[in-house]
Amino acid sequence: MLNEHSVLVTGGTGSFGQKFIENIINRYPRVRRVVVFSRDEHKQFDMAQRFPVEKYEQLRYFIGDVRDKDRLYRAMERIDVVVHAAALKHVPTAEYNPFETIKTNIIGAQNVIEVCLERDVKKVVALSTDKAAGPINLYGATKLCSDKLFIAANSFKGLRDLKFSVVRYGNVMGSRGSVIPFFLEKRDKGILPVTDERMTRFNITLQEGVDFVLKCLERMWGGEIFVPKIPSFRITDLAEAVCPGCRTEVVGIRPGEKLHEEMITETDALSSLEFDDHYVILPALQFMDADEYMKKNGGRLCPDGFRYNSGTNSEWLTVNQIRELIRENCDPHFEV
């Protein structure tokens, strides 16, 4: 799919960006060019030690910010595929620095869209988050705006051969700032701070997230929000998996935090389709017909009242499964 094409990844030095680029250069040996676009000089330096341009001649490291439209324009010369992963994503940081978050997550998203239109890019996938579904914090609200911008771009692309779609998934196991590394740090003290014992989360590994984005690049018509079917875990089971016998200390839900993650709201479900391994939220704008989409791609309409919520999910990780995933994705030396 990506052989003989050029790819640009915004936020290319983040957790997802680095894993995605690693997959591209290993799985598509004839990829023409891969542009790592990010604003962090130090992370680019570290990444260039892992993937030196002397060995990976298709790699290009571009310092730049999605807020800077001119720099995006220069970086997207002869680019075919864009994966937009750049964002300010930490909830407390967003609450304290609201307009900085808006400038990156919303204005930056519009800059990406406009430059893709100007540079004749063919496919664009933007990464979203569960927090964009029924948002209760600024980060989620900005990502919902970003999602709307990318989907709506399909309606004013004109005659260009260009498709915009969005991929939305939840908690990435072991990513920076997530709960598992936090618990692993705290377990030596014998006390794990738990926000609420009823709390649940979706779980996806970094590799599963990369694989899903690559599949969506193949499947996309333009205008979809793709949501993977993934398991949930209970925060109490995670605590038991990390440190059985540890005392848990309930500290209360933090501002802007949900008890359960949600990726498809009951309202979204009215225009959503279910497939074997994923869901598709079709756009509210009527440039895509659900019957035509199902005829071409399969799938079935979600039932009335459906919502995709980590607390009512049908698939759950056991304590032993959580432990195995920690070994595979967070700490290969992890032992109970």
Over residues 35-64, the pLDDT tens digits come to 999 999 999 999 999 999 899 999 999 999
- Report strand pairing: 200-202 vs 278-281: unpaired
The residue that leads in pLDDT, 182 or 116, is 116
Per-residue pLDDT tens over the stretch 275-306: 999 999 999 776 678 888 999 999 999 999 99
Residue position matching structure tokens 């290319």: 12
Give the pLDDT band (50/70/90) at residue 189: confident
Q: Is the pLDDT of residue 182 over 80?
A: yes
Separation between Cα atoms, residue 321 and residue 217, nearest integer Å: 29
In angstroms, the CA 336 to CA 327 distance is 11
Q: Is 186 exposed, middle or buried (0-12, 13-18, 19+ CB in 10 A)?
A: middle
Give the domain ranges of the chain: 6-168
Give bridge partners of residue 172 from the DSSP assignment.
204
3-class SS letters over 126-167: EECCHHHCCCCCHHHHHHHHHHHHHHHHHHCCCCCCCEEEEE
Tell me whether residue 89 is one of the annotated catalytic residues: no
- Of how many residues is the chain composed? 336
SS3 122: coil
Q: Which residue in the block uniquely carries the two structure tokens 């000089």?
A: 41
- Catalytic position from the list 19, 43, 69, 131: 131
* CA 287 – CA 267 distance, rounded (Å): 19
Helix (H, G, I), strand (E, B) or coil at 223: coil
Distance CA 323, CA 187 (A): 14
What is the greatest pairwise CA distance in the chain? Answer: 62
Residue-wise pLDDT for 159-170, tens only, equals 999 999 999 998
SS3 217: helix
pLDDT for residue 335:
87
End-to-end CA distance of the chain: 42
Q: What is the pLDDT of residue 177?
A: 67
- DSSP strands (E only) in 190-231: 191-194, 200-202, 225-228
Residue 216 — very low, low, confident or very high, per pLDDT cuts 50/70/90? Answer: very high
Residue in the structure block whose two tokens are 């056991």: 318
User: Do the beta carbons of residue 74 and residue 115 sit within 8 Å?
Assistant: no
Residues 6+ apart with CB under 8 A from 43: 13
Kind plus residue range of the DSSP H or E element containing 15: helix 15-27
Distance CA(134)–CA(117), nearest Å, equals 29
Confidence class for position 239, pLDDT limits 50, 70, 90 = very high
Identify the bridge partners of residue 126 per DSSP, sorted by sequence position. Answer: 84, 166
Mean pLDDT of 101-120: 98
Of 2.40.30.10, 3.50.30.30, 3.40.50.720, 3.40.640.10, which CATH number belongs to 6-168? 3.40.50.720
